[in-house]
Amino acid sequence: MKTAEKSGTVSRRPPVRLLSSLASLARFRRTAPSPVVLVPTMGALHRGHAALIADARKRAGRNGTVVVSIFVNPTQFGPDEDFEAYPRPVAHDRKICADHGADAIFLPSVAEMYPVEASVFVEEGSLSRFLCGSARPGHFRGVCTVCTKLFHLVDPDVAIFGEKDFQQLAILRRMVRDLNFRVKIVEHPTVRESDGLALSSRNQYLTPEERAVAPRIQAALQDCGKRVETGERSAAKVVVALRRSIDRIPGARLDYAEVVDTETLAPVRRLDHPFTVAVSVFLGKARLIDHLSFKP
């Protein structure tokens, strides 16, 4: 809403188009002015998504096209995960899209995206062995497959993803390179609450008590940063400190805490070239991820 109030050009755009079938998207795409910028989301949009959409608007320019896709993609959820429970506040999402300058929302059905006997998948076999890829088997296969489909359907010049999901970003960049997609992948910095908690649609699963302690995940990462700044070069020692901080958060259960090479995502031992400290924590019903990257 802020964006719309600030910028007269945005508020004068025609109303955002709701494209709920592949055919309506194809018709829309045929006459959509270039550049076409895609913001792929699972909906339940928050200020982080709003920032991506506003960035997309800027990159598309006044005459280009911004498409936000909203699709809770079943193939990236594990059998015990929150696919059914995942929030789907369509009217709210539509308003966020309109207020931040989207031209169209692509909102396909699961039935149209995955015909009954779908049997073709896109798989990344290196970067996805670690972190969330190891904790959520099949997750990145689902992500790569649905992004391939979205890239084919929307045919964007640019696609914008949040840096919060840094493993996803690394894998999608690899996918675009290895499969020669024409789309350019752009990352947008993580948006945080004032107390440091990274914005996530899953934050709404938190009780007030859980929400109150959730910023301690980011604080624990910042603490790792201080250790590195004061000369710590052992990944194992950083992980021990990180685990200890997470264990002290009431109600938190560690999923993983790792120090990985920022390029390959493989675990590292010595902190002597670019690395990332990454953590995944279950807090009540929510699984929250965060990370911090370093260039020593």
Q: Give the whole-angstrom CA distance, residue 264 versus residue 27.
A: 40
CB of 237 to its own copies, least distance (A): 30
Tell me the closest approach of the beta carbon of residue 169 to its own copies, in angstroms: 14
Nearer to its own copies, 181 or 205 (CB): 181
> Between 79 and 208, whose beta carbon lies closer to its own copies?
79
Query: In the complex, which residues of this chain contact its own copies (CB under 8 A)?
Result: 22, 115, 117-127, 144-145, 148-149, 152-153, 155, 174-175, 177-182
Q: Which is nearer to its own copies, 145 or 276 (CB)?
A: 145
Q: Residue 123: name the closest of 144, 151, 104 by CA.
A: 144
* From 46, 49, 139, 291, active-site residue: 49
Closest approach of its own copies to the CB of residue 176, in Å:
9
Instruction: Output the smallest distance, CB 116 to its own copies, in A.
Output: 11
Can you tell me the distance from the alpha carbon of 49 to that of 199, in angstroms, rounded to the nearest whole number? Answer: 9
Task: Determine how many CB atoms are found less than 10 A away from the CB of residue 71.
Answer: 18
On the 0-12 / 13-18 / 19+ scale of CB atoms within 10 A, 289 is buried
What tokens does 139 get?
């997750």
Pairing outcome for strands 104-106 and 65-70: parallel
Q: Cβ contacts of residue 118 below 8 Å, gap of 6+?
A: none
Residue 49 annotated in active site: yes
Nearer to its own copies, 148 or 200 (CB): 148
Active-site residue list: 49
